[in-house]
């Protein structure tokens, strides 16, 4: 899916950015190119797709509150990342900072590959049905 490719691309580029900072002799053009590649990978999936997925995953009855909670969660994690950059950089330098973020991107990629449903070409009812957990005695909606 687009998310998996985007997250994997961001992780690979973050590894490259870490290498750019680990080897100080790296030309600044390479670092700039890596930053552009990271922004392209972000824009191709992780930056835009979550907002599209909100419209596809949530039922009309839950869309308002669910979208609000998803947006609040996004901003909370953006704040956490912004606030922790200095601490992580102080502990593991700039190269380590990018490697930590690369690891998070790869973890995110694996989680999305296994747990986020593919919605391309599916109706809302088909998407909603993928969230139903069947037990031996009842049907529970997730």
Residue 9 has a pLDDT of 96
pLDDT digits (tens, 9 = 90+) for 96-118: 999 999 999 999 999 988 888 77
User: Above 60 in pLDDT, residue 135?
Assistant: no
Region 69-97: what's the mean pLDDT? 93
Confidence of residue 14 (pLDDT cuts 50, 70, 90): very high
pTM above 0.85, yes or no: no
The conformation of residue 122, written as its DSSP 8-state character, comes to -
Rounded distance, CA 119 to CA 58, Å?
12
Q: Residues 109, 114, 115, 118: what is their CA dihedral angle, to the nearest 10 degrees?
A: 90
Percent of the chain with pLDDT over 70: 93
- Tell which residue, 8, 43, 17, 5, has the closest CA to residue 98: 17
């Amino acid at each position: 899916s687009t998310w998996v490719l985007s997250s994997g691309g961001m992780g690979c580029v973050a590894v490259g950015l870490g290498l750019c900072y680990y080897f100080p002799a790296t030309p600044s053009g390479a670092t700039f190119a890596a930053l552009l590649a990271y922004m392209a990978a972000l824009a191709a999936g992780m930056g835009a797709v979550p907002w599209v997925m909100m419209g596809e995953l949530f039922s009309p009855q839950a869309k308002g509150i669910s979208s609000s909670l998803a947006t609040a969660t996004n901003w909370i994690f953006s704040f956490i990342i912004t606030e922790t950059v200095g601490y992580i950089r102080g502990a593991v330098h700039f190269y380590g900072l990018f490697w930590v973020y690369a690891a998070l991107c790869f973890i995110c990629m694996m989680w999305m590959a296994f747990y986020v449903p593919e919605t391309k070409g599916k109706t809302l009812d088909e998407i909603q049905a993928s969230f139903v957990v069947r037990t031996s005695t009842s049907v529970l909606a997730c």
